[in-house]
Amino acid sequence: MTIALSIDQLSVALPADADRPYALKQVSLHLNRNEILCVVGESGSGKSMTAGAIMGLLPDRVRAESGRIEFEGRNLLELNDAELRRIRGAKIGMIFQEPMTALNPLITIGDQIGEMFRTHSKLSRRETAERVQALLRDVHIPDPLAAARAYPHELSGGQRQRAMIAMALALEPAILIADEPTTALDVTTQAQILKLIRELQERKGTAVLFITHDFGVVAEIADRVAVMQHGVVVEQGEADTILNRPQHAYTRALISAVPPLTPPPIRQVAEESILAIRQVNKIYRKGGLLGRNKRVTHAVRDVTLDLPKGGTLGIVGESGSGKSTLARCVVRLLDPNSGHIEFDNVDLASLGRRELREHARHVQMVFQDPYGSLNPRRRVGELVAQGPIVHGTPCQQALAEARELFELVGLDPDATRRYPHEFSGGQRQRICLARALALKPRVLVADEPVSALDVSVQAQVLELLARLRQQLGLSLLFITHDLRVAAQICDHIAVMKNGSVVEHGTAAQVFGSPGHEYTRSLLDAVPGRHWTPPSFAGDIERIAA
């Protein structure tokens, strides 16, 4: 095997006011021809910075301080802008996480791909158009002729990412850098894109540097793996070795934190249901003066579900399946158009505003984004205490209870006087939990509570949720797109598609013998489903500490 690109002792310095002096510290990597090298790490590990350094696209005030990046016998760090421009796109292609923002919204897909040829070659108009068509066919876009004329917003997320890949591969670069290319996509689309990248890579012999945080994706696509932590490569080697016999403690901890796809043994859950969702519908109507261009979206269609007392009902589905809308209907952030939501012999769906506020305390919600769901201008203790205060608890007592809740969710009680920005993502999600628990709810609706967290933090928060469920006798309505997470925490699982529940059963049933075709396709699309992460007890605690 020949080396396509080698990084030798690369250090990248951060500006003086950053939280650490180096983004990358003496990173040495090499990328062979015709292979996929996965760079894995959690947020802040420096994996994207590595890609930026190769392309000469580091953020302002960040610079490569020492080391070499060797490509075709030249050190990329020493090239000037004009020389780098000739390499970017032509010899090193790149695809990004969010194709919607990486594509220019005002230019058609065909023109954007054609721009690659106009910039780097002297092809005629007709030849360019033909090449664009060939590329769009290569990436299996349905109806390539129409796609070339479409603007980015007219394509789906997966098609946009296909167009991005077509663009990156237009000039048959020797190297393709893919920075989390599937993170923003649904799981079935992700599986297709991963397959496409693999197929094109094999056909053209491209060297792919694939950056990801997801070990499932690594298991799916990598030939070799490099694991990064705090700007240092802690371990690299063949995919099989790293995935199944990792040596470094950090790699072991990361891999142990990946939830296996098989549900744990069945817990005993009461037959009795605490929350009954009956025939709930939510319809969005859009625009249309005098009925023109009127769009009606059935976000939730006749959903009937039961949440068993003390149990966890998982609602899984892809984006647009209506799972979050359903959750918001349950806590009445949205008003369902029809149907009943029965809790304690009260129909939550039909309550007026005043009664709703009284009943709100029994059904609480935890949100996805731990950064956006805490008011940045108030102390976290006040945030936790404000619910009880509204419901009539004296201020002093509520603040004292907030301290106890902090202890319950594993935070320092003295931290109640601090502001949200002083906490990490995992800690903030614990604060959100404490805030929801302050009202002593009996049902907790969790909308993707761990999706924004790194995998090791995710494991801790899931553990906390499982513990609280036991300790407080909570019933959980758990919304997630991640089947691995769902397998770990849910007793029952409902699969949603286009607003309807297509399958509903115990976790073991749904994962073991899925009845509906859509469930099977979801399960088939889970990255790394054939790989069972080995477990290394003890390592997680060490990393957490």
Which positions lie near another protein, rule CB under 8 A? 60-61, 331, 333, 356-358, 360-361, 363-365, 367-369, 372-378, 386-387, 390-391, 432, 435-436, 439
> CB-wise, 215 or 367, nearer to another protein?
367
Report d(CA 155, CA 438) in Å as an integer: 44
DSSP letter assigned to residue 259: P
Least distance (Å) between residue 408 CB and another protein:
18
Report d(CA 429, CA 424) in Å as an integer: 9
> CB-wise, 226 or 383, nearer to another protein?
383
- Buried b / exposed e across 162-180, counting CB within 10 Å, b at 16+? bbbbbbbbbbebbbbbbbb
- Closest to 53 measured CA to CA, from 86, 72, 78, 19: 78
DSSP letter assigned to residue 368: S
> CB-wise, 61 or 86, nearer to another protein?
61
Q: Are 425 and 457 in contact (CB under 8 A)?
A: yes
> CB-wise, 297 or 304, nearer to another protein?
297
Q: Which residues pair with 212 in a beta bridge?
A: 40
DSSP letter assigned to residue 292: T
> CB-wise, 294 or 378, nearer to another protein?
378
> CB-wise, 331 or 487, nearer to another protein?
331
> CB-wise, 373 or 458, nearer to another protein?
373
Least distance (Å) between residue 331 CB and another protein:
5
Least distance (Å) between residue 356 CB and another protein:
8
E-strand stretches of 245-379: 273-286, 295-308, 312-316, 338-343, 346-347, 363-366
> CB-wise, 129 or 389, nearer to another protein?
389
Report d(CA 514, CA 516) in Å as an integer: 6
Least distance (Å) between residue 171 CB and another protein:
32
Distances (CA, A) of 316 to 128, 189, 301: 43, 16, 15
Give the DSSP H or E segment for 201.
Answer: helix 187-204
Least distance (Å) between residue 336 CB and another protein:
16
Q: What's the CA dihedral at 534, 540, 542, 545 to 10 degrees?
A: 170
Least distance (Å) between residue 378 CB and another protein:
8
- Closest to 238 measured CA to CA, from 250, 249, 227: 227
> CB-wise, 200 or 443, nearer to another protein?
443
> CB-wise, 68 or 359, nearer to another protein?
359
Least distance (Å) between residue 12 CB and another protein:
18
Report d(CA 343, CA 163) in Å as an integer: 48
Least distance (Å) between residue 421 CB and another protein:
11
Least distance (Å) between residue 369 CB and another protein:
6
The burial class, CB within 10 Å (0-12 / 13-18 / 19+), for 39 is buried
Least distance (Å) between residue 59 CB and another protein:
11
Give the DSSP H or E segment for 38.
Answer: strand 36-40
Q: Is the dihedral of CA 407, 411, 412, 413 positive or negative?
A: negative
Structure tokens at 474: 């909570």
Q: Are 260 and 455 in contact (CB under 8 A)?
A: no
